[in-house]
Structure 1
């Protein structure tokens, strides 16, 4: 599934908002004159641009019918059940639970898969097939709020809440080894993974984290995709920030960074910056010269490299690897994650 960069808003709501702004401008100009009109128009335009940012980042409707048609694992001969995960803010997440044969499922790692910014989790099924057969993991595929059959609307705060809810859900199951949880995220999913791994409680619930072709932050991506002058826009103006470059230093779990050097959307230097700032004592950066943003997983040696990293963890476990106590930090989350 192809991830998407900055695109023009397609929502009718944005068009209506712009039309209302012009109408409001005309009314103010008629009654109050030029200066008041300019001030009101500027404020309304800024508000429209601020709230339109979700439409620029999240693309659950691309390709068409992505909110209706979700390819299922059985199409790729993967055993699965469909599960619903409730979040603390009453959103229902659609997810696939794909397990190894019963005699193995309790002894192998379990990977939580967080996809990119477009389509739904079913569009990543070929990659999950490779993970299942090459890495011999159980896989929980999670569909963010507002994507596929999940309820709600995607926001930064919402997506990081979804990640924690997925981890909590696995702790309610008894057919897996809770000490071998792996967070995996590509592109936007990588930012979600970094946020969870940096959490003082949830970071202790996982064995390791893997991110692939993810960005350092949304403001830095805006500089890349729009214009260098965007760097002068205050962070306050960004509705979605995903400041992974600031959070990665708080991560102490083992971390694997996978970078496709042919990525023409997220500059590979961002992956190197994240690797350099990562606070983990056990971290590794894998760079694949032929990998682009969406298909690094098809490059020769991809699964073997991940397998080598996981084997290293199992042979030489970090002192941080311990079975954490079940806990919930939603109250704390209320104060830590704020959408401006």
Structure 2
């Protein structure tokens, strides 16, 4: 429907006297009115809204978890515990195994991330909590910046309430949109998080909007621009990353076809953690863990072994 509206605006502008200025104004109005529909993509062509499979299809144990957020929205999660072969000296004390709060990319539900989460769990030897944002998958509600913030808060609180999770050994990992959610969460609660990993995320929504629609920059719809107040969902990672002092791993694909590589470079310039690593990868937006697996997984495991407790 959104695409149809944009096509209609272009057609009207072409066939009437409103011209380029009118087209820009009409597009701006649509962008403001429907920004949640444009930013958040619970479903995408070729992806099922329902889960086509669950972790058991990949031989993984999991718990089906439902969380109630502060505003009473129920969100769906999967908790996947790490399990190793028993060995001398390893028992209940292995509660210290790291736990990763995984915040996914935009389109589709969490079942499509299992091919990534399985090696994350096994190679990095960690528990993983997969969070399904409101409006995505089976979760209730509709997505917004404020809403996803509450979803992440509920997930962190859930982990802290588990007897088998070491509260001092939690890392937050977000890719793309999930990276913005992760930066926001850790900037507010870094006393409750041991480390942060962000992969191929953006500086802020106004910067991404002006990239997709260049005329927006000219009318002040950019970060700190005169019209930026019209963007309700800012996800201002560039303004928040400097607050974080915990160890950070920034994984950035040089061939990213969705988020310009320069966004990650700017986030790195703005961060102020004395334990931040920037790791460029000759890969694309979603598939670095497959394209450069021989670099990706050793680096991630090295970071966890350096900053998390095993």
Q: Does TM, scored on the shorter chain, surpass 0.5?
A: yes
Q: 2:206 aligns with which of 209, 216, 219?
A: 219
Asked whether the equivalents of residues 102 and 130 of structure 2 are also in contact (C-alpha less than 8 Å), the reply is yes
- Name structure 2 gaps, 5 residues minimum: 13-23, 85-90, 222-226
CA RMSD of aligned residues (A): 2.6
For the structure 1 residues 220 and 45, does the alpha-carbon distance in structure 2 shift closer, same or farther, using more than 3 Å as the test? closer
1:78 matched to which residue of 2?
A: 60
Asked whether the equivalents of residues 194 and 308 of structure 2 are also in contact (C-alpha less than 8 Å), the reply is no
1:335 matched to which residue of 2?
A: none
Asked whether the equivalents of residues 258 and 287 of structure 1 are also in contact (C-alpha less than 8 Å), the reply is yes
Q: 2:287 aligns with which of 295, 303, 307?
A: 295
Q: 1:240 aligns with which of 214, 218, 233?
A: 233
- Write the mapping of 1:46-195 to structure 2, written as runs, cut at 5 A: 48-63=30-45, 66-101=48-83, 103=91, 106-195=95-184
The reply on whether 1:310 has 2:309 as its aligned counterpart is no
SS in 2 for 1:179: coil
Asked whether the equivalents of residues 98 and 308 of structure 2 are also in contact (C-alpha less than 8 Å), the reply is no
For the structure 1 residues 223 and 268, does the alpha-carbon distance in structure 2 shift closer, same or farther, using more than 3 Å as the test? same
Asked whether the equivalents of residues 70 and 148 of structure 1 are also in contact (C-alpha less than 8 Å), the reply is no
For the structure 1 residues 94 and 10, does the alpha-carbon distance in structure 2 shift closer, same or farther, using more than 3 Å as the test? farther
Deviations 1:208-248 (A, max 9, x none): 01000000011111222221652522111212111100011
CA distance in 2, matches of 1:257, 1:161: 24
The reply on whether 1:265 has 2:258 as its aligned counterpart is yes
CA distance in 2, matches of 1:121, 1:269: 28
CA distance in 2, matches of 1:273, 1:61: 30
CA distance in 2, matches of 1:263, 1:109: 29
2:271 matched to which residue of 1?
A: 278
The reply on whether 1:203 has 2:196 as its aligned counterpart is no
CA distance in 1, matches of 2:281, 2:26: 45
1:326 matched to which residue of 2?
A: none
For the structure 1 residues 51 and 229, does the alpha-carbon distance in structure 2 shift closer, same or farther, using more than 3 Å as the test? closer
Asked whether the equivalents of residues 195 and 308 of structure 2 are also in contact (C-alpha less than 8 Å), the reply is no
CA distance in 2, matches of 1:308, 1:90: 39
SS in 2 for 1:301: helix
Aligned length: 282
CA distance in 2, matches of 1:213, 1:156: 19
Cα offset, 1:68, TM superposition: 2.1
For the structure 1 residues 46 and 229, does the alpha-carbon distance in structure 2 shift closer, same or farther, using more than 3 Å as the test? closer
For the structure 1 residues 288 and 107, does the alpha-carbon distance in structure 2 shift closer, same or farther, using more than 3 Å as the test? same
Cα offset, 1:45, TM superposition: 7.8
Asked whether the equivalents of residues 160 and 166 of structure 2 are also in contact (C-alpha less than 8 Å), the reply is no
Cα offset, 1:10, TM superposition: 5.1
CA distance in 1, matches of 2:3, 2:260: 26
Asked whether the equivalents of residues 80 and 97 of structure 1 are also in contact (C-alpha less than 8 Å), the reply is yes
Cα offset, 1:106, TM superposition: 1.1
Cα offset, 1:265, TM superposition: 1.2
CA distance in 2, matches of 1:168, 1:137: 18
TM-score w.r.t. structure 1 length?
Answer: 0.77
CA distance in 1, matches of 2:138, 2:48: 9
1:329 matched to which residue of 2?
A: none
CA distance in 2, matches of 1:314, 1:48: 45
Cα offset, 1:148, TM superposition: 0.1
